[in-house]
């Protein structure tokens, strides 16, 4: 089922201690709000509206750089006002599914979303819930009574709703009251709310010690994937070749639909391969006249953007050029710098090497050259 989402990131998070509001603190070297937005986009959200405080509108662009399918709006004085601002910015139909999620729960996954959407087939809303495991006491300093925990559940987010039902329910909610969650708004309006199995991984980061635990969990939510690319082009008329984004004078040119930069073509395929996103020909068909003579820089930039859209990060790159000539060593450092710039990496994470085939094969006969690339990419599970 298709769905849209609202991520609420406009709060101050005072209980988390001094420092930035929770949504803007770093977790695993990324802002917490990015974890939540990435999780929902990876789960298949058609659109994500991120609700932020007015003074965070500029910051959200940097926090979510590279992600596709989101936009930000300004929140209100309360969480309820912020949720309604997010709903107003969606382009949903009345019966479409919408998820409302707290940015401070960074570990949302596709499995959580699928359970909620399945439950929404039979109810107006759905919430992930965990049974209360601890003995409950009521009192103020001294225990006044022990409260039965039978039938009590801890509600989490994201919470799923039919778009029209939730908007109508909020119109009926008294302005003088602040709901504890969105499901309670629908409940008061007479809507049915189903419960799906909750998950301790949907923990809400509230207190300083929560962030220490989250750092340990964050490491387990990412994997490193490898990608490999190979490309070859033959020599033809010309006096310049492009290799790894560097212009090199030579006795011949390289023949290709674009600028025939074998190094960047191999890198592009390696990056796309690491995320299972096809190859360079799928994204830039050689039959398309738009790419005639095109600089291969844009192919690699596109692949890098595809990684970012999946919440990934390129960690390193290694390119091997196989040719008798031109000699690569005089240009190697310039190649490393250009690749590092295109991938957004420090130079020390980029390697460029060259070898020959001792006169054997098409490279040995100087009929053309070959490039092989390997990249490592860290992505969400």
CA dist list (Å): 113 to 97, 136, 196: 11, 30, 10
Q: Please, are residues 321 and 263 in contact by the beta-carbon 8 Å criterion?
A: yes
pLDDT digits (tens, 9 = 90+) for 79-136: 999 999 999 999 999 999 999 999 999 999 999 999 999 999 999 999 999 999 999 9
User: Which among 220, 243, 264 is the end of a domain?
Assistant: 220
Residue 156's CATH number: 3.90.550.10
Q: Are residues 175 and 245 in the same domain?
A: no
Q: Are residues 231 and 209 in the same domain?
A: no
Q: Are residues 76 and 193 in the same domain?
A: yes
User: Which among 188, 220, 252 is the end of a domain?
Assistant: 220
Q: Are residues 202 and 248 in the same domain?
A: no
Q: Are residues 62 and 124 in the same domain?
A: yes
247 strand-pairing partners? 242
Q: What range defines the domain where residue 309 resides?
A: 223-380
Q: Are residues 344 and 323 in the same domain?
A: yes
Roughly how many angstroms between the first and final C-alpha of the chain, as a whole number?
21
pLDDT digits (tens, 9 = 90+) for 279-305: 999 999 988 889 988 999 999 999 999
Structure tokens at 319: 């390119």
Q: Give the count of domains, the chain.
A: 2
**Spatial separation of the C-alpha atoms in residues 118 and 111, rounded to whole Å:** 11
Peptide bond into 310 cis (omega under 30): no
Q: What is the pLDDT of residue 83?
A: 96
Q: What is the pLDDT of residue 153?
A: 95
Q: Are residues 17 and 153 in the same domain?
A: yes
pLDDT band (50, 70, 90) for residue 76: very high
Residue 248's CATH number: 3.30.1330.50
Q: Are residues 45 and 178 in the same domain?
A: yes
Bigger pLDDT: 320 vs 214: 320
Q: What is the pLDDT of residue 16?
A: 46
Q: Are residues 142 and 285 in the same domain?
A: no
Structure tokens at 194: 């189903």
Length of the chain: 381
Q: Are residues 37 and 93 in the same domain?
A: yes
pLDDT digits (tens, 9 = 90+) for 307-339: 987 778 899 999 999 999 999 999 999 999 999
Q: Are residues 254 and 288 in the same domain?
A: yes
Q: What is the pLDDT of residue 161?
A: 98
Q: What is the pLDDT of residue 47?
A: 96
pLDDT band (50, 70, 90) for residue 361: very high
Q: Are residues 88 and 107 in the same domain?
A: yes
User: Which among 220, 239, 271 is the end of a domain?
Assistant: 220
Q: What is the pLDDT of residue 217?
A: 81
Question: 86: Cβ–Cβ under 8 A, 6 or more apart, which residues?
Answer: 6, 7, 8, 49, 50, 51, 73, 75, 100
């Amino acid at each position: 089922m298709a769905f849209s989402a609202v991520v609420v990131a406009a709060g101050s998070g005072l209980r988390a201690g001094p420092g930035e509001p929770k949504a803007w603190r770093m977790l695993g070297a990324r802002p917490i709000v990015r974890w939540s937005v990435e999780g929902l986009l990876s789960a298949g959200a058609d659109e994500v509206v991120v609700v932020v405080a007015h003074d965070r509108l500029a910051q959200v662009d940097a926090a979510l750089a590279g992600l596709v399918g989101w936009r930000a709006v300004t929140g209100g004085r309360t969480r309820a006002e912020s949720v309604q601002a997010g709903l107003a910015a969606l382009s949903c139909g009345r019966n479409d599914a919408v998820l409302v999620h707290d940015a401070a729960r960074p570990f949302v996954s596709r499995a959580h979303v699928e359970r909620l959407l399945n439950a929404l087939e039979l109810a107006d809303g759905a919430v992930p819930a965990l049974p209360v495991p601890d003995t409950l006491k009521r009192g103020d300093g001294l225990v006044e009574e022990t409260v039965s925990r039978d039938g009590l559940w801890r509600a989490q987010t994201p919470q799923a709703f039919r778009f029209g039902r939730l908007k109508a329910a909020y119109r009926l909610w008294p302005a003088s009251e602040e709901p504890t969650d969105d499901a309670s708004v629908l409940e008061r309006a007479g809507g049915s709310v189903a419960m799906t199995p909750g998950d301790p991984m949907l923990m809400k980061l509230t207190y300083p010690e929560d962030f220490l635990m989250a750092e340990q969990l964050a490491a387990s939510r990412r994997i490193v994937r490898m990608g490999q690319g190979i490309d070859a082009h033959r020599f033809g008329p010309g006096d310049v070749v492009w290799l790894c984004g560097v212009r090199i004078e030579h006795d011949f040119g390289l023949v290709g639909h674009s600028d025939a930069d074998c190094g960047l073509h191999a890198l592009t395929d390696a990056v796309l391969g690491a995320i299972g996103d096809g190859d360079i020909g799928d994204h830039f068909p050689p039959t398309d006249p738009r790419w005639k003579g095109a600089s291969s820089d844009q192919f690699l930039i596109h692949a890098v953007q595809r990684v970012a859209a999946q919440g990934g990060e390129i960690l390193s790159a290694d390119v091997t050029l196989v040719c008798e000539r031109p000699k690569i060593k005089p240009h190697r450092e310039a190649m490393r710098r250009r690749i590092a710039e295109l991938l957004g990496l420090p130079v020390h994470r980029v390697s460029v090497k060259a070898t020959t085939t001792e006169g054997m094969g098409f490279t040995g006969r100087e009929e053309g050259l070959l490039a092989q690339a390997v990249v490592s990419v860290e992505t969400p599970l």
